[in-house]
Structure 1
Amino acid sequence: MASTLAEKTCTPCRGGVPPFTPEEAEAYRTQAPDWSLMDDATRIERRYRFKDFGEAFAFVMRAGELAKAQGHHPDISFGWGYASVSLRTKKIKGLHENDFIMAVKLDRISEGVVEAAARPKG
């Protein structure tokens, strides 16, 4: 993990690569500390909080654009004031560096949504 995950880009995963062990996943999670390891460290998950539906929706739209650009496919659900994101690399049925790259990038997007909503309009 020489460079920060936020500076990296997801690489296509063709399968055949072993998923992270729980220890490897925990080491990567230090750069995404708000994410939780789930299901025996085969996925990570985070619930974001927003002030209203509009902020949550704005986050989901940006998250979708990021996912498309990165070639990643997170599971996202949202509603009034929240969005939940679950990440894992489906081809290897577990975690890969790509999942943590997405996690860190999603964290940055969420900060930007909240900052933009706090700016005065007009």
Structure 2
Amino acid sequence: MTEKSCTDLPKGTPALKADELEALKAQIDPAWQVDETVLTRRYETKNFAKALMLVNGVGYLAEAQGHHPDIKLGWGYAEVSFTTHSVGGLSENDFICAAKLDAMGLAG
């Protein structure tokens, strides 16, 4: 997944089905939680500054991939949630970004 890049998915492109979600989930860190429409991971950090640095790393990846998550930031944590609005659910783009974040080693 880390070798792939996000692609433009026009409105009307179908979201991933349950079996596709399971296959892609097996390729990312088990800390990622999947429901039908959102892929989320909560990162725990030692303080606010580390959480902010983590968010900056997420932002860098999001800009590079053209696929932007929702981010919650607080003291000692950052929560990252991906969804693909144009498909009304999850797409391979969400899992590509999750895998790339895993490879960046941002946790901590």
Taking the aligned partners of 1:19 and 1:84, their CA distance within structure 2 comes to: 23
- Find the partner of 1:48 among 43, 48, 58: 43
AA in 2 matched with 1:53 = F
Mapped partners of 1:81, 1:87: distance in 2: 20
SS state at 2:2 partner: helix
Q: Give the counterpart letter for 1:92 in structure 2.
A: V
Query: What are the residue-to-residue correspondences of 1:1-122 with 2, within 5 Å?
Result: 5-32=1-28, 33-38=30-35, 41-109=36-104, 111-112=105-106, 114=108
TM-score scaled by structure 1? 0.81
1:108 CA displacement: 2.5
* Bigger helix share: 1
State the distance in 2 between where 1:24 and 1:45 align. Answer: 17
Amino acid at match of 1:83: A
Residue 15 of structure 1 aligns with an amino acid whose one-letter code is K
4+ aligned runs moved over 2 Å, structure 1: none
Identity percentage of aligned residues: 47
Higher-Rg structure is 1
How far apart are residue 112 of structure 1 and its match? 4.6
Where structure 1 has 5 or more consecutive residues not aligned to the other structure, the ranges are: 115-122
Alpha-carbon deviation of 1:107? 1.9
Structure 2: any 5+ residue segments left out of the alignment?
Answer: none
Paired positions, count: 107
| TM-score normalised by L of structure 2 | 0.91
Cα distance change of structure 1 residues 18 and 49 upon mapping to structure 2, 3 Å threshold: same
Q: Highest relative contact order (Cα 8 Å, sep 6+), 1 or 2?
A: 2
Shift of 1:50: 1.0
